């Protein structure tokens, strides 16, 4: 199918070259003054469609791309000026004010009887324009074919104050919107039943009789759906969900009003029992890939559910966003693609069902602080702005509350009076920090912390033991689910009558301190000095005398350990698992009993492959759900030699 651009605009032709190397330009010849329409968007859509049909009738086999751009202010449509005087009047009206630029897009093929349309709206603010600057621009005599009498690329240095939205839309061809329409135009449709589910991606699977597989986000096993997909050479196709014709019995209404837009949860509209079933299927599938001949003989227990389905997280990092002059708090939007985090907008929230009910009271206070300060939210695209994140840490048993306001250093803010508001509103507030963070990445780092109120740490309990939680120290995000893991480890250690245990990646020492009740001696190792300081502090807090902690890279610590020093090894690594060097060192020590706690089934299976090949036997596997409504899964593997 040939591509035709129904426009004589050199700007549109130049932009279209970013998508198509070869296309033909065929102006429609349409007299736009004959198009009726008071509403600016309606007028633009009608005009673009008329252009597309006029050219499509002459080239019925080809794809015709048509666009129409209008400028609107005060409810008026500013089209292409008929004279210099009209152009002058348009620019005077736009001077020092905000206006909207609307571009309507239409894709049309007559013989396919297919027409798609969409639009993009961008807000543009002009500086006050002195009459001499207007006259200088008009003297260039380039205004005649421009909606609103200007081309952004010609005036942006002198006229433009601010632009909110797609820059290319103002130039005349919104490329992102056009790409979306093109994908839809060339898609084919299919109706089928979802029979499988792919984690952690969260994709429903449709398999057809001819061996084709379709992966579609937002679809669950048991759904009868209509999907759209791009035909390709392979047998696996990425598909887009168009509609759910018959919902799965496991579907349910999501209780959170923000679900579907916010990236905090993925499966709130799927019954929790079904979530657990799919997580076990995922774990089994991963193990099957690594142990195809033996996976049936592995003892994989049922997934232990989180004690709390909602309000289970004791730590949550929220982002500041901004719309116009209004600043708000929320989470980055949900995407079903690998779009870079920097491109995700902040979804405004008024509650969060996986964090704490206190969000409903906290957010209005911090939003008011931001608005009254007159300082903007941080913009990831420009690396400018002030307000970045609000981090909430909460003791789920103690009720202790720690708040960290993360900003840049681009301004200063007085928080003393605001702190009084917080303490009056939240009696459980024990710690309030202001942190300056000037890194460009959208991650929370405690670069330059200032303690504004209270103590440096809060407390919570695990299995009746007290633990300090510092601002940057690691503590399990779902403490009630963590207790299930620690109970399981203690039960196994008691059965083994372990005398000496070594804990690698010990963090703030929670596992080791819990095991100190049933093991003669426990040594914890972690590379992070702050974690080790907290671990020692926690040992003293609980009167534990048979546990000690070492700050060292794991590989360096293992070289100092001789064979026979320990009869139990506990590994709780980050998502990347154990390094190849560390794994070799662990194998060489031949510690008879090994507990592997993993937050990533893929790296767990990878490391198990090496451990089993070295002589370890896998006794059983217990999955525990730390994060309901997400794809994450914690797994305990018990091994022995």
For residues 569 and 593, give the distance between their C-alpha atoms in angstroms, rounded to a whole number: 6
Q: Which helix (H) or strand (E) holds 488?
A: helix 479-496
Q: Are 352 and 359 in contact (CB under 8 A)?
A: yes
The question of whether 68 is a catalytic residue gets the answer yes
DSSP secondary structure string for all residues of 277-315: HHHHHHHHHHHHHH-TTTGGGS-BPPPBPPS-SSS--SE
Coil, strand or helix: which one is 393?
strand
Which of 448, 468, 548 is CA-nearest to residue 506?
A: 548
User: Which are the contacts of 355, defined by CB distance < 8 A and separation ≥ 6?
Assistant: 264, 311, 313, 316, 392
Q: What does the radius of gyration of the chain's CA atoms come to, in whole angstroms?
A: 30
For residues 47 and 31, give the distance between their C-alpha atoms in angstroms, rounded to a whole number: 9
User: Which of the following is catalytic: 62, 68, 223, 607?
Assistant: 68
Q: C-alpha angle with apex 535: 580 to 523, nearest 5 degrees? A: 55
Strands 547-551, 521-526: pairing is parallel
Residue 334 per-residue DSSP state: P
Which of 625, 634, 638 is CA-nearest to residue 307?
A: 625
* Neighbour-count burial of 315, counting CB atoms closer than 10 A to its CB (0-12 exposed, 13-18 middle, 19+ buried): middle
For residues 172 and 177, give the distance between their C-alpha atoms in angstroms, rounded to a whole number: 12
Backbone angles phi, psi at 518, to 5 degrees: -120, -5
For residues 272 and 254, give the distance between their C-alpha atoms in angstroms, rounded to a whole number: 11
* Neighbour-count burial of 287, counting CB atoms closer than 10 A to its CB (0-12 exposed, 13-18 middle, 19+ buried): buried
Q: Are 328 and 262 in contact (CB under 8 A)?
A: no
* Distance, C-alpha 321 to centroid of its chain: 14
Catalytically annotated residues: 68
């Amino acid at each position: 199918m040939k591509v035709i651009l129904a426009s004589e605009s050199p700007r549109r032709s130049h932009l279209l070259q970013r998508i198509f190397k070869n296309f033909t330009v065929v102006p429609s010849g349409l007299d736009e003054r004959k198009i009726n329409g008071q509403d600016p968007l309606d007028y633009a859509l009608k005009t673009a469609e008329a252009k597309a049909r006029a050219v499509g009738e002459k080239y019925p086999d080809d794809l015709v791309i048509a666009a129409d751009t209008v400028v609107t202010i005060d409810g008026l449509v500013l089209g292409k000026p008929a004279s210099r005087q009209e152009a002058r009047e348009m620019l005077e009206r736009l001077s020092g004010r905000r206006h909207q630029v609307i571009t309507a897009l239409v894709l049309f093929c007559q013989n396919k009887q297919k027409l798609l349309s969409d639009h993009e709206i961008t807000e543009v603010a002009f500086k006050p324009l002195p009459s001499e600057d207007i006259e200088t621009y008009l003297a260039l005599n380039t205004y005649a074919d421009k909606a609103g009498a200007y081309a952004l690329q010609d005036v942006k240095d002198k006229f433009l104050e601010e632009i909110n939205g797609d820059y290319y839309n103002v130039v005349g061809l919104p490329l992102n919107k056009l790409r979306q329409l093109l994908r839809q135009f060339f898609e084919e449709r299919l109706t089928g039943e979802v029979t499988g589910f792919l984690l952690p991606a969260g994709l429903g699977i449709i398999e057809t009789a001819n061996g084709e597989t379709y992966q579609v986000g937002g679809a669950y096993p048991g759904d009868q759906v209509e999907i759209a997909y791009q035909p390709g050479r392979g047998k696996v196709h990425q598909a887009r969900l168009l509609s759910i014709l018959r919902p799965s019995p496991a579907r349910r209404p999501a209780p959170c009003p923000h679900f579907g837009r916010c990236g905090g949860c993925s499966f709130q509209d799927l019954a929790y029992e079904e979530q657990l079933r799919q997580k076990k299927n995922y774990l089994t599938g991963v193990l099957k890939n690594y142990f195809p001949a033996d996976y049936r003989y592995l003892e994989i227990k049922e997934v232990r559910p989180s004690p709390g389905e909602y309000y289970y997280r004791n730590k949550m990092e929220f982002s500041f966003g901004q719309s116009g002059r209004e600043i708000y708090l929320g989470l980055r939007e949900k995407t079903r693609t690998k779009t870079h985090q920097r491109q995700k907008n902040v979804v405004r929230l008024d509650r969060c069902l996986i964090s704490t009910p206190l969000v409903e009271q906290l957010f209005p206070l911090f939003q008011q602080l931001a608005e009254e300060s007159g300082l903007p939210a941080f913009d990831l695209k420009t690396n400018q702005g002030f307000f970045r994140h609000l981090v909430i840490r909460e003791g789920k048993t103690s009720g202790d509350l720690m708040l960290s306001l993360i900003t840049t250093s681009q301004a200063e803010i007085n928080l003393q009076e605001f702190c009084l508001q917080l303490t009056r509103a939240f009696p459980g507030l024990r710690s309030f920090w202001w942190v300056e963070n000037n890194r460009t990445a959208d991650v929370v780092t405690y670069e330059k912390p200032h303690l504004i109120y209270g103590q440096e740490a809060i407390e919570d309990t695990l299995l009746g033991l007290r633990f300090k939680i510092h601002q940057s120290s690691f503590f399990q995000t779902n403490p009630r689910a963590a207790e299930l893991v620690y109970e399981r480890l203690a039960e196994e250690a008691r059965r083994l009558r372990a005398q000496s245990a070594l804990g690698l990646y010990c963090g703030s020492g929670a596992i080791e301190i819990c095991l100190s009740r049933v093991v003669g001696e426990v040594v914890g190792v972690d590379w992070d000095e702050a974690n080790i300081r907290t671990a020692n502090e926690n040992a003293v807090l609980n009167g534990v005398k048979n546990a000690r902690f070492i700050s060292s890279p794991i590989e360096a610590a293992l070289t100092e350990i001789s064979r026979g020093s320990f009869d139990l090894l506990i590994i709780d690594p980050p998502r990347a698992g154990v390094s190849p060097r560390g794994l070799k060192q662990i194998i060489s020590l031949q510690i008879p009993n090994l507990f592997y706690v993993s937050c990533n089934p893929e790296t767990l299976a990878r490391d198990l492959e090496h451990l089993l090949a070295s002589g370890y036997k896998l006794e059983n596997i217990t999955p525990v759900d730390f994060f309901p409504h997400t794809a994450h899964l914690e797994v305990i593997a018990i091994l022995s030699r």
